[in-house]
Every structure is written in structure tokens, then in C-alpha cells.
Amino acid sequence: MSALAVYLLAFIGLIALAMPIGFALGLSTLLVFVMTDQPVQLFTQRLWTGLDRFTLVAIPLFILAGELMGGSGILQRLLDFARLLVGRFKGSLLQINIVVSMFFGGINGSAIADTSAVGSMMIKATKEEYNDGELVAAVTAVSSVVGPVIPPSLPMLIYAFAAGNVSIAALFLAGIVPGILLGLSMMIVTAILVRRKDYPVSDRRYGMAEILRITGRFLIAAILPVIMVGGVVGGFATPTEAGCIAIVYALAIGFFVTRQLTWALVHAAMVRTITVTAVVMLLISVGNVSTWWLTIEGVPRWISTALQETTSSPMVFLALMLVIYLVIGLFIEQAAAMVMLVPIFAPLASAYGIDPVHFGLFTCLALALGLVTPPVGLCLFIAGGIANVPIHRVFVAAAPYLLAMFMILLLVTFVPQIYLWLPRMMGL
């Protein structure tokens, strides 16, 4: 049996045994190192070189900034502003859920964190109001996918590090239009679904003084993504520096403006940041070793030759990649899939003449759909758990939203002009 076959069988077998992706990837790679008489010292060296990049420091800084803002009362301000915008629509609590996810995703950049935070705040009240737990959970889960698309985005950072030839600033700008389109499509689907339901409609009216107060409170929160994205895009700060600035801003807001942040909450945010960062860094580290070994074995070259012999069309290549990503996303979490696949497929996309920003955004969105599709579907499980609704009922309720998201994904894949104009206008 070839070393590649052993590697694949070992990896799939360990995943089937419910071993975490990072450990499964590392152990299967170590096994073939031993089989092919590669020095084990080289394995440990490659583990380190996978992390020996200063720009990776931006990842924990972005995570911590989002955690601090989540614990500083900002979510309530986002909720108040969303209620001001769409509170008088039928099914307004569902629409508010989507709008809050768009705003909070732009601050936190993580779909899973979005589902947990927004879900814990919105699901119970909305379920009691509408008595429709599966729809509430479905809306919470699918709307959280906007988080990895609207900048600043943690998956975009991971993609940029894995690909190595794409501008983080350009990716951030490119995500704005698709993120808005995703949010609007979900709001349209919600409006259609609730049209015939006997949901109460709010008749609350806001005075000008209250509108100004709510808007002012919202703008304090909205400045954070502007600082992070604007600093990187404008060239005033590197992603790492932007992350530091965001942390200082989040601490200042939490302690001196909202006054809801405490040292206990800061400690909890730092613990969560360390946990998430450890998982991401482990994936990046073992992914570097795995990619190096696969390159030595000639796997990327073999895949490249096979695909280029199959088709010379960039559109056909993107269609094939779309199928691959959607299937992989069913079983492997987004960050892990990017660490494993991007170093192989990003150079191949460049060989087909596909813009690196185009392929990067396509990759982030296609793999994000796996967060809301079984059997992994982490966001579905989190939202279903909070709503106390079985996962299969949440998935059925989410089906119309998944169809809308797939339509946006097709636009992102095959009509990149709808979002590439923005980074190009900025000279990126």
C-alpha cells in the first residue's frame, strides 16, 4: 500500500473515531513520516516553521477584540438599533436576529461565536413570542454565516496565511458586498415565510430624541470594525497593529462607556481566546507539515495535471471546486478545511488565471456553508441546543435559507465583478 493511501486511510479512520481534526491530521502525517523513513526531527521542525510567521499574531488579537466587545454590553446596543430599523416588520424578531448577526459578525468575525452570543440573547424571547422554535433556531444559525464574510473576518485571515499570495485588505473589502447580499437574501426569505403566519406586529414609534440616542449608542460599537478594516485597507496599520488598536478600543468602551466590562469578564475573554487560538494554531502547524509532505510526494502536481488535462476552463474548474468544497464542508470544519486544502488549490487557481481575492472569498463562503449543514453543522447544533429543538427539524426549517445562500454563493463564484470592483477601486 502506498504512503498516500495509508495517509488518507489513517486520517479518515481517525476522523471516524471522532478524534479532533488537528490530532488526526498530525498523527496520520507522523505515521507516513515513519513509513517513508523521513526523520522525525524534520516533523517537529516543520511543526514550528508552520507558526514562525509574525502575521499570525493577528489571529488571537482579532479573537480577543471580538470577545471583549461581546462582553461589554455592545450586543444590546446592536439589538436596540436593529429593532429601530426593522422592528415594525412582520416577524420583526426574526428580522432583528438577522440584522444583529450582520452587525455582530462584523465585530466578532466568527460564525460560531455569533450563534452562541446572539442565540443566547434572542432565541428564548423569540421562541416564546412566535412559538416556532425550529424557525428561530434556523434563522439564528444561518444568519451567523454572515460573520465570516463581512469584515473583519477570522476565516479570511486564516485563508490569507494559508494562501500566502493574497492581500488581507483586499479580502476584507471584497467581503462587504456579498455579506450584505447574504443578509438581505435572508431577510427576504423571512418576509416570505412569515407572510401567512399569525405573528404579532409591533406598533412602537420612536421619537427623534430616542432615535438619536439609539443611533449614537450603536455608532460607538460600529466604529470598531471601521478601525480594524479601515486601518488595514488604508495602510495605516498591519492586521496585527489593527488588532492591538481594537483591543484597546474595546477595553476603553467596556470600562468607561458601557461600564459593563469587569476584570472577571476580561479574564474569561482571554481564556476563550487562548482556547480558540490554540485550536487554530495547532491546525496551522500540523497543516504545514502535512502540506509539505504532500508536496514532497507530488500530490499537488498530480492534482494540477489531472485537472488541467480534464479542463482548461476556469469556470469549469470553479464548478469542480464548488462541489469539492461543499462535500468537504459537510464533514470538516471551515478553518481545518482551509488549512488542509488552500495550500494545494490556491496555486492551482492562479494557474487558471483566477483572481486570488475571488478564489479566497469563494473559498471562505463555500466552506462556511458547512457550518449550517449536517452532519457537522456546528452552528445548527448550537442554535438547536439553545432552542431545545432536534437538529433535523432545525435543518428542515433552514432549507429555504440554505437555498438563498447557495444562490449568493453562485454569484460569488461565477460573477466576481459584483464585489471585486471595491478592492480594485482602492487599488488593491
What integer pLDDT is reported at residue 84 of this predicted model? 85
Residue listed under C-alpha cell 479570511: 156
Residues in the chain: 428
Average pLDDT over residues 357-373: 92
Structure confidence by residue, pLDDT tens digits, 255-300:
888 888 889 989 998 998 898 888 888 888 888 888 888 888 888 8
**DSSP letters spanning 27-79:** HHHHHHHHHTT--HHHHHHHHHHTT--GGGGHHHHHHHHHHHHHTTTHHHHHH
Percent of the chain with pLDDT over 70: 99
The model's pTM is 0.86
Lowest mean pLDDT among 39-48, 220-229, 256-265: 220-229
Average pLDDT over residues 130-155: 87
Q: What is the mean pLDDT of the chain?
A: 86
Please give the grid coordinates belonging to residue 371.
457550518
Average pLDDT over residues 147-172: 86
What integer pLDDT is reported at residue 422 of this predicted model? 92
Structure confidence by residue, pLDDT tens digits, 166-213:
889 999 999 999 999 999 999 999 999 988 787 777 777 888 888 899
Question: Does the pLDDT of residue 410 top 90, yes or no?
Answer: yes
What integer pLDDT is reported at residue 322 of this predicted model? 95
Lowest mean pLDDT among 46-55, 275-284, 304-313: 46-55
What integer pLDDT is reported at residue 1 of this predicted model? 59
For residue 98, give Cα distances in angstroms to 91, 115, 144, 188, 318.
11, 11, 8, 11, 29
Q: Which amino acid is at 20?
A: P
DSSP label at residue 138: H
Structure confidence by residue, pLDDT tens digits, 102-111:
887 766 667 8
User: CA–CA separation, 252 vs 198, rounded Å?
Assistant: 44
What integer pLDDT is reported at residue 109 of this predicted model? 66
Name which residue leads in pLDDT, 180 or 229.
180
Lowest mean pLDDT among 43-47, 266-270, 312-316, 366-370: 43-47
Average pLDDT over residues 59-74: 80
Name which residue leads in pLDDT, 86 or 362.
362
Average pLDDT over residues 132-145: 90
Lowest mean pLDDT among 33-42, 129-138, 312-321, 366-375: 33-42
DSSP label at residue 416: T
